Copies of this chain bind each other. A is one copy, B any other.
Amino acid sequence: MAVYTHLGAEDLARLIAQYDVGELVSAKGIAEGVSNSNWLVETIGAEGSGARFILTLYERRIDYADLPYFLDLLDHLSAKGCPVPRTMHDRAGASFRMVEGKAAALIEFLPGVSPTRPTAAQAHSVGAVLARMHLAARDFPLSRANAMDFAASAAILDACGADRLASIHPDLPAMLAHAHSAAAIDLSALPASQTHTDLFPDNVLMRGDKVTGLIDFYFACTGPMVLDLAVTHAAWCFDAAGQYIADCGTALVAGYESIRSLEPAEVALFPAIAKGACLRFVASRAEDWLETPDDALVTRKDPMQFVERWRFYDEAGAGLLA
């Protein structure tokens, strides 16, 4: 969470001048984004009207071949009235430019703050917006494979190995077999669309109970819509102590179904898919944990949080959406 690349005022002004967005007035590096540098940029038009944008410089963790998918998807969804930021295009029509050897995009700034203790009313709104996004994205012409699908989670845990997983927590190695079970689930018949797949509360901007923005689409991919709902469920419906917040869970699904009804196959597979979603975060967190030195200043996220959520879904089973 930092600004990794220094861009001076003159560099920023030159970059902004490539867009038809007025003149640079202010730029503050913001402490968001794990693999990008971001600035909150303000411009003023010839007629005196102000506008704000997020300027993102993509550090090397993103495959630049994926940028048209991410950036065009924002435009597609925004044009259909979904609360996502538009991508600004430069005077030549490009959605991103190269600056200091890195890709840069100028994205609409949206107001709102991310809830840290979401209420049921907020979960309901997020569910509804997620369903609207899924429906709006169905005719999006590009597609992107899910690099973090269930097979990838199993492969990551395999690469960690049972011994090193046990060094983090003795209960982790047991998740290896569960990850392989998840990878064996046949998701091919489930209704698909473009999905966010990382819709944690920090990726949602809200004013009160209203969603003002879904942001950070850099895990977005083509896949089963119910997987996106399951990720969102696992991300929104547990408190800091790991306890399931039933009214949030119920509200999230009700909000989703107020816009798009789940099909019987999606309902039937929901607990298994939610367990797979948990293992996706167990895998990435375990990998990060093993790659981060014990004495690093970075706070490591505990993979066991999502083992506990996996256990919740395992126990809840079919009763959860009943």
The residues of A with any CB-CB pair to B shorter than 8 Å are: 1-3, 8-13, 24-32, 40, 42, 111-117, 205-207, 297
Contact = CB atoms under 8 A, between A and B. Distances in A.
Nearest to A13: B113
A30 B40 contact: yes
Contact of A9 (B24, B111, B114): B114
Contacts of A115: 8-10
25 contacts: A1-B2, A1-B29, A2-B31, A8-B116, A8-B117, A9-B113, A9-B114, A9-B115, A10-B115, A10-B117, A13-B113, A24-B113, A25-B113, A25-B207, A26-B111, A26-B112, A26-B205, A27-B113, A28-B28, A28-B31, A28-B40, A29-B31, A31-B31, A42-B111, A297-B297
A29 B26 contact: no
A9 B116 contact: yes
A121 to B, nearest CB: 14
Contacts of A28: 28, 30-32, 40
A11 B117 CA distance: 10
Given A8-B117, A117-B8, A111 B25 contact: yes
A113 B29 contact: no
